[in-house]
Amino acid sequence: MLKNMRLISYLIISIGCSFISCKYSVSARHADKIDSIPGRTWWKEAVIYQIYPRSFKDNDGDGVGDLKGIISKLDYIKSLGVDAVWLNPIYQSPNYDNGYDVSDYYKIQPQYGTMQDFDSLLQGLHERGIKLVMDIVVNHSSSQHDWFKQSRSSRTNPYRNYYHWWNAEKGKPTPRYSFFDVNNDAWKYDTLTNAYYLHYFAQQQPDLNWENSALREDIYKMLRFWLDKGVDGLRMDAFQFIAKDTTFPPFPAGYEKNIAKYYGNGPHLHDYIQEMSKEVLSKYPVMTVAEGADTSPEDAMKFVDPARHEFSMAYHFEGIDYGKYKPNYDLIGFKKIYSYWDSCFENKGWLAIFLANHDQPRMVSHWGNDAPQFRNVSSKMLTTFVMTMRGTPYYYYGDELGMDNIKFDKIEDYRDISTINAYQHEKNTGGDLEKFIEDKKRSARDNGRTPFQWDGNDNAGFTTGTPWIKINSDYKTVNEAAEEKDSNSVLNYFRKIVKLRKNNPVLVYGKYTLLDKDNPNVYAYTRELNGRKMLIVLNFKNKPATVNTGINLAKATLLLDNYSTPPEGNSLQPYEAVIYEL
């Protein structure tokens, strides 16, 4: 049945060929011998669409997105052709870090709706053949979680060891850096029991103590609860940090510049993951993706080497952190990173491919060009990159419209605890606040968290109330309704390339080879599988560029181009993206 459906869709694409610039069809003689591919699974072939629930669609007019809002847009999600939705946390939370501070793992955040809404959402997705990936945040909980309330109440409380405490009579604990703390101090003194507790993130996010087997059992129980509901995937938040050396040895000066190295991969990390896998994950047909395997390919491989029975895939941060939001990053270095990581995972293991998520500024502003004349074309070019690399594409809501950074010019507009506390830190330490605000226009997480732009009406059709965060003023032109009507829109390009990827396993499993590696403007590579070969050329610059792949294109078939006129020879227009079948 599945095979027939694949064949039918293959034929439809071969015959109908509805690409914008599709000059020729994908020839049936090149049909990939997909059944002979070892290790095939749905999550390698999937395109995963990430929804930030606070900002997707508000159904009840309180200015905050909700589950009913998502339910009302299920047909839109289906129309994208994506296979799975990853939802950022929707559990009960006081929302200091927008849901990444969970106060009850078994309840739905009331602003988002009820458990019944959740069940309807899951059912609605499944009815449309779309899977659901939940965010699992267990490096820390909220300080309002009952475990923490108990833990802090007395030194002898049974939940005391659910968290990391340092009794003050031992003196001050060895310094640990906190990502979101105003003073960057990860130890918070609590008078109640004269002790410090550890929080790698905000004060309101105390770190859970994975060294305690009772805590681990509670986490496994919680995972079973969601998996029993039929959830298909789990995104394991900040997972490289869960295991700690509880003697808290001192780190060398400057350790905070490489947190992953010192905090990541603590003792027993992989024992815990293997235990979790044995107790829970192996008993369900579930996909798992580890966030933050961000030290080295060797460390990342430990999470996903199939022989180790840990997670399905991981995402690395070396690509996303590259250049740290500098206006002009060096493309040669960018290519080197992606090529190196691909080579390390060529024979086993699997990676995610992404250029944006809720912790990042908008893809087009960060990696492309959001000036009006380049926004569309560079969005499409970046989308082409994500959809033609080896690895599972994770695609962030709104990028399919070409949504860009909002670039707030005052701190009062920000909602993100990391930006607000960093600003306060800057202020307290006499930093340059103007520069801070300028930098944040490029780098702040809130740039990527503004409401989805559904139409050109009030509040972009996101809410009838007052939105929890400002809406990007470009919504009059950049919105779903307008882009639906334009066959040349970023949105319709996204749909086409999703289809192209899904109908051509060479783009999923094919060997990746970098070409013209020293070209500072163009990223060119081939993907090859079972006699099929595709060439992808991407001009990452705002000016014309040439590429030298050494491939004679006379017999090549142009499959997709983000310009309406095909490239002439080896010349590419600004941000041009072309896919050929060779």
- Rounded Cα distance, 475 and 448, in Å: 14
- By beta-carbon proximity to ligand TEU, the closer residue of 87 and 551 is 87
Q: Beta 131-136 vs 165-167: how paired, if at all?
A: unpaired
Q: Is 206 in the site for ligand TEU (CB under 6 A)?
A: no
- By beta-carbon proximity to ligand TEU, the closer residue of 137 and 522 is 137
Q: Is 204 in the site for ligand TEU (CB under 6 A)?
A: no
Q: Is 292 in the site for ligand TEU (CB under 6 A)?
A: yes
- By beta-carbon proximity to ligand TEU, the closer residue of 63 and 448 is 448
CB of 235 to ligand TEU, least distance (A): 9
Q: How many binding residues for ligand TEU (CB under 6 A)?
A: 12
Segment (H or E) for 499? helix 490-503
CB of 53 to ligand TEU, least distance (A): 13
Please check whether residue 566 is in contact with residue 558, taking contact to mean a CB–CB distance below 8 angstroms.
yes
- By beta-carbon proximity to ligand TEU, the closer residue of 237 and 310 is 237
CB of 472 to ligand TEU, least distance (A): 20
Q: Beta 522-529 vs 532-539: how paired, if at all?
A: antiparallel
Q: Which of 181, 211, 291, 480 is catalytic?
A: 291
C-alpha distance from residue 348 to each of 222, 306, 344, 394, 516 (Å): 30, 7, 8, 20, 26
Q: Is 480 in the site for ligand TEU (CB under 6 A)?
A: no
Q: Which of 32, 58, 97, 446 binds ligand TEU (CB under 6 A)?
A: 97
Q: Which of 318, 359, 439, 455 binds ligand TEU (CB under 6 A)?
A: 359
CB of 322 to ligand TEU, least distance (A): 14
Q: Is 508 in the site for ligand TEU (CB under 6 A)?
A: no
Give the x-and-dash track for 124-143 against ligand TEU (CB under 6 A). -------------x------
> In this structure, what token pair is assigned to residue 12?
């439809």
Q: Is 179 in the site for ligand TEU (CB under 6 A)?
A: yes
DSSP SS3 for 227: helix
- Rounded Cα distance, 191 and 174, in Å: 19
DSSP for 316-335, written as a single string: -STTTTGGGG-SS--HHHHH
Q: Beta 313-314 vs 522-529: how paired, if at all?
A: unpaired
Three-class SS of 149-167? HHHHHCCCCCCHHHECEEE
Of 50-69, which residues contact ligand TEU (CB under 6 A)?
A: none
Is 291 one of the catalytic residues?
yes
The amino acid occupying position 248 is F
DSSP SS3 for 515: strand
- Of 222, 202, 9, 276, give the one whose Cα is nearest residue 104: 222
- Rounded Cα distance, 149 and 159, in Å: 9
CB of 361 to ligand TEU, least distance (A): 10
Of 235-274, which residues contact ligand TEU (CB under 6 A)?
A: 237-238
Q: Which of 66, 211, 237, 581 is catalytic?
A: 237
Give me the phi and psi of 343, to 5 degrees please: -65, -35
Please check whether residue 496 is in contact with residue 21, taking contact to mean a CB–CB distance below 8 angstroms.
no
Of 405-444, which residues contact ligand TEU (CB under 6 A)?
A: 418
Q: Is 201 in the site for ligand TEU (CB under 6 A)?
A: yes
**Chain positions contacting ligand TEU, by CB under 6 A:** 97, 100, 137, 179, 201, 237-238, 292, 358-359, 418, 445
Q: Which residues are tagged catalytic?
A: 237, 291
